[in-house]
Amino acid sequence: MREDSCQYEYTLDNQFFADIDAPEIQRGKLKVVLNVKKSMGVFILNFHTEGFVIVPCDRCLDDLELPVNTDDTLKVKMGLSFSEEGDVLVVPEEDGYVNVAWFIYEFIELSLPMKHVHAPGKCNKAMMGTLNKHLCTSAEEESLDDADLEEEPEDESRETDPRWDDLKKILDNN
């Protein structure tokens, strides 16, 4: 790279995720714009990634399309061997290049939410029925719908073991 900066554009599709043997994401369509700037012996790589990926829903296992729109930076400098020095990746001078494919995948993965679930009411009805059958353990429990599976705050007014009530009084007084 002789210029002080240059730009590359990549289009990522299902083949990209298959080629890098992606553990979480198998499909998607994204556009990545990579700006590389050389500054005082360090290459600053700025990635802008936009598009969508398809992952399995954590609740019903059907395909779920998630949008991706992220900006990330990677700093690279040349050295004797591969290493990471803080936020700088060191690449051997004899190699002279860095394959950014795995970094792009990691940036995409890190931009996704921890929970991959459909909007309420959008999960596979058959799978939700099976899930309800296995989650409900007593006749008093009502069937769960998508909204019920979200975490609920603890109810302070529920009945507790009287032995714990005495301990709670001690904590409340402190």
Question: Does residue 165 lie within any of the structural domains?
Answer: no
Question: Does residue 93 lie within any of the structural domains?
Answer: yes
Question: Does residue 146 lie within any of the structural domains?
Answer: no
Number of domains in the chain: 1
pLDDT by residue (tens digit) across 62-87? 999 999 999 999 999 988 887 887 78
Query: Mean per-residue pLDDT for 85-107?
Result: 88
Q: What range defines the domain where residue 102 resides? A: 5-111
With H, G, I as helix, E, B as strand and everything else as coil, classify residue 124.
Answer: coil
Q: Looking at the predicted structure, is the pLDDT value of residue 146 above 50? A: no
Query: Mean per-residue pLDDT for 28-35?
Result: 98
Question: Does residue 157 lie within any of the structural domains?
Answer: no
List, in sequence order, the alpha helices (H) in the chain: 14-19, 101-111, 125-135, 162-173
Question: Does residue 132 lie within any of the structural domains?
Answer: no
Q: Are 96 and 103 in contact (CB under 8 A)?
A: no
pLDDT, greater one: 165 or 50: 50
- Residue 19 confidence (pLDDT): 94
Query: Mean per-residue pLDDT for 21-46?
Result: 92
pLDDT, greater one: 16 or 39: 16
Percent of the chain with pLDDT over 90: 50
Question: Does residue 29 lie within any of the structural domains?
Answer: yes
Query: Mean per-residue pLDDT for 15-24?
Result: 91
Structure tokens at 57: 């829903």
- Residue 158 confidence (pLDDT): 65
Question: Does residue 67 lie within any of the structural domains?
Answer: yes
Query: Mean per-residue pLDDT for 125-150?
Result: 65
Question: Does residue 84 lie within any of the structural domains?
Answer: yes
- Residue 105 confidence (pLDDT): 96
Q: Looking at the predicted structure, is the pLDDT value of residue 155 above 70? A: no
Measured between alpha carbons, how far is 112 from 65 in angstroms, rounded to an integer?
Answer: 11
Percent of the chain with pLDDT over 70: 84
